[in-house]
Amino acid sequence: MAYLVHRLLVTGFPRHQRSIFYFYNYLKGCMSFNDFGLSEEILRAIKEQEYLEPTPVQQMAIPVVLKGHDMLVSAQTGTGKTAGFTLPMLQRLRENPKERSQYSVRALILTPTRELAAQVEESVRTYGKYLPFKSTIVFGGVNINSQMRILRHGVDILVATPGRLLDLVSQRAVDLSKVEILILDEADRMLDMGFINDIRKIITRLPKNRQSLMFCATFSDEIKQLADGFLKSPQLIEVSRRNMAVTKIKQTIHPVDNRRKRELLSFLITSKNWKQVLVFTRTKHGANRLTQQLEDDGISATAIHGNKTQAARTKALADFKRGVVRVLVATDIAARGLDIDQLPHVVNFELPSVPEDYVHRIGRTGRAGCEGEAVSLVCVDERDLLRKIEILLKSSLPKEVVPSYEPDPSIKAQAIPNGRSFQRRSSSRTTPHHRHRKNIR
Ligand code: AMP
């Protein structure tokens, strides 16, 4: 079983309707895309993707959306969640055909990052290729005028990052008053990135009688609060890949001194002849520095993070996917949502400060039923972070000291400021939120 249905939440949301879910369909097994009542055009597009059967999140979410319910889903990237909302969204728009009017939008999908927005819009185009819908994408960092020109004639589906969408709203370049379906993808990441006020402002522009869907990696109190504010009696669905991460992915911890991590990474890549490696660092600065050091060691590498222009990020990802560069160094937020299938190796150059991000990071490998390998280089300062990750995973991870890279026992642990990187410079003039937005993306 590629994915594990972890738990269906029926508690903790007192104001919401307790839902029945569609879990039994999944347990019945052998459900096919034909069972949902999707249109011929959509089924044809799915067939071209050669999907054999709906994933668990699709089996649970598609019927809920088709019935017009609001929905709160906890599912991570790699579970097939994008098709889980895109397919029924297309079906609902098709069942209720409407003329496009100037500046109008029928379905709005908000995502935290440009990369995720691009991937979601690509999915909309893929699954909707035999339908007459017009979709477009808007995000910051690129010229706004061409986006305004497209929106002037109205679109059926708009995929947007919150900041740029608000700019467009304030310039009256888009009219959200006719939105029928709102989808918040990776809502928890949007909160982490400080988009909460933007989202609230956007929601005030939407009609009350819309359908709203919200996707997040985990149900946190903040998410519940946000959901309380704008979902109506939502159906709750939780799908976890956590157990899959533990069982399908070979995870190894290499204890090593901080100052020797780079050397060890180069050694592992060359001695094991890894061809395609995604390496996580905690900061943009760290990502740049490591990329340069790997290049100096003769290993082709490129970095992807929020300081790069959109063109540079797109090129970095394309080069990595095509195998032009061997190593992609990424920060958590930049890597979030990247659809890189069947990646053989993921390396945590530094452990993430949020334990859930560990699961997210290693979820990049071993996808589509393939086995993967996740390696973490852990120095003495990170022992606490490692312990938290092991508590989350409910298991201890195997430790393997690489000969010649034994940690020096005389080095004592230093606290990581604010639970964040020891390499990070903190500024007393910035709030934690600002620091997060400035440093991590
Ligand atoms: P997502 O979780 O939406 O990022 O999807 C992860 C990957 O799963 C994407 O590459 C999709 O093309 C793929 N995918 C989505 N649905 C299915 C399915 N039913 N069967 C096989 N692959 C799928």
Q: Which residue in the block uniquely carries the two structure tokens 């496009």? A: 100
- CA 323 / ligand 1 centre spacing (Å): 22
pLDDT value of residue 435: 31
Over range 412-438, report the average pLDDT: 41
- The pLDDT of residue 215 is 95
pLDDT at 358: 87
Ligand 1 center–CA 258 separation, angstroms? 37
Higher pLDDT, 246 or 68: 68
SS3 assignment, position 24: helix
Average pLDDT over residues 28-34: 71
| Mean of pLDDT values over 96-111 | 95
Instruction: Give yes or no for residue 21 having a pLDDT over 50.
Output: no
Q: What is the pLDDT of residue 5?
A: 34
Please check whether residue 401 is in contact with residue 254, taking contact to mean a CB–CB distance below 8 angstroms: yes
Token pair, residue 164, equals: 């740029």
Query: Which residue from 50, 339, 364 has its CB within 8 A of the most atoms of ligand 1, so it is best to mutate?
Result: 339
Lowest mean pLDDT among 190-204, 247-261, 363-377: 363-377
CATH of domain 249-436: 3.40.50.300
Q: What is the mean pLDDT of residues 285-309?
A: 90
Ligand 1 pocket mutation, candidates 36, 55, 59, criterion most atoms within 8 A of CB: 55
Mean pLDDT in residue range 418-437: 34
CA distance 85 to 89: 6
pLDDT for res 393: 80
Q: What is the pLDDT of residues 82-99, one digit of tens each?
A: 999 999 999 999 999 998
Q: What per-residue confidence (pLDDT) applies to 238? A: 83
Inter-residue contact 383 to 352 (CB < 8 Å): no
Residue with CA closest to ligand 1 atom 15 = 80
Q: How far is the CA of 51 from the centre of ligand 1 (A)?
A: 8
Is the confidence at residue 172, as pLDDT, over 90?
yes
Report the largest interatomic distance among the alpha carbons of the chain, rounded to a whole angstrom: 72
* Rounded CA separation 145/128 (Å): 26
Q: Is the pLDDT of residue 353 over 60?
A: yes
What radius of gyration do the chain's Cα atoms show? 22
Start-to-end Cα distance in the chain: 34
Greater model confidence, 351 or 229: 351
Predicted confidence at residue 417, as pLDDT, reads 52
- Residues of the chain with pLDDT > 90, as a percent, come to 55
Mean of pLDDT over the chain: 82
Residue 149: its pLDDT value, please? 96
Confidence of residue 342 (pLDDT cuts 50, 70, 90): low
CATH 3.30.750.200 fits 33-238, yes or no: no
Q: How confident is the model at residue 339 (pLDDT cuts 50, 70, 90)?
A: low
Q: Over 80: is that where the pLDDT of 59 sits? A: yes
- Is ligand 1 within 6 A of the CB of residue 112? no
Q: How far is the CA of 97 from the centre of ligand 1 (A)?
A: 27
* CB of 211 shorter than 6 A to ligand 1: no
Ligand 1 centre and the CA of 83: distance in Å? 7
pLDDT at 374: 93
Mean of the pLDDT values across residues 359-383?
Answer: 81
Q: Which residues, at least 6 apart from 166, have a Cβ–Cβ distance to it below 8 Å? A: 198, 201, 202
Residue 35, phi then psi, degrees to nearest 5 = -75, -15
Least confident of 9-13, 50-54, 360-364: 9-13
Confidence band, pLDDT 50/70/90 cuts, at residue 158: very high
**Nearest CA owner, ligand 1 atom 5:** 80
All CATH 3.40.50.300 domain ranges of the chain, comma separated, are 33-238, 249-436
Q: Give the closest residue (by CA) to ligand 1 atom 1.
A: 80
pTM: 0.61
Neighbours of 18 (CB within 10 A): 13
Residue 82 in contact with ligand 1 by CB distance below 6 A? yes
Higher-confidence residue: 419 or 365?
365
**Does residue 431 carry a pLDDT above 50?**
no
81 touches ligand 1 (CB under 6 Å):
yes
pLDDT tier at 219 (50, 70, 90 boundaries)? confident
Contact 332, 360 (CB under 8 A): yes
Cβ-in-10-Å burial (0-12, 13-18, 19+) of 146 comes to exposed
Pairwise CA distance, residues 98 & 282, whole Å: 46
The total of other beta-carbon atoms located within 10 Å of residue 290's CB is: 21
Q: Is 298 left (phi over 0), alpha (psi -120 to 50) or beta?
A: left
Closest ligand 1 atom to 55 CA: 19
- Indicate whether 246 pLDDT > 80: no
Q: Is the Cβ atom of 78 under 6 angstroms away from ligand 1?
A: yes
142-149, Cβ contacts within 8 angstroms, sequence gap of 24 or more? 142/310, 144/168, 144/171, 144/173, 147/173, 148/173
Q: What value does the mean pLDDT take over residues 375-398?
A: 91
**Which tokens hold the place of 351?**
């452990």
d(CA 72, CA 212): 9
Distance of CA 221 to the CA centre of its chain: 19
Predicted pLDDT at 37: 95
Rounded to the nearest angstrom, the distance between the alpha carbon of 79 and the centre of ligand 1 is: 6
Asked if residue 67 has pLDDT above 70, the reply is: yes
Separation of CA 26 and ligand 1 centre (Å): 17
Q: What is the C-alpha to C-alpha distance for residues 239 and 25, in angstroms, rounded to an integer?
A: 14
For the cut 90, the answer to whether the pLDDT of residue 73 exceeds it is yes
Q: Residue 51 CA: which ligand 1 atom is closest?
A: 20
Check whether 13 has a pLDDT greater than 50: no
How much is the pLDDT for 76?
77
Determine whether the shortest distance from the Cβ of 352 to ligand 1 is under 6 A: no
Residue 337 pLDDT: 55
Least confident of 26-30, 311-315, 318-322: 26-30
CA of 23 to the centre of ligand 1 (A): 19
Using the mean position of ligand 1's atoms as its centre, give its distance from the Cα of residue 74 in Å.
16
* Nearest residue to 76 via CA among 381, 319, 309, 356: 356
Atom 6 in ligand 1: residue holding the nearest Cα: 78
* Residue nearest atom 20 of ligand 1, based on CA coordinates: 51
Measured from the CB, is residue 55 less than 6 Å from ligand 1?
yes
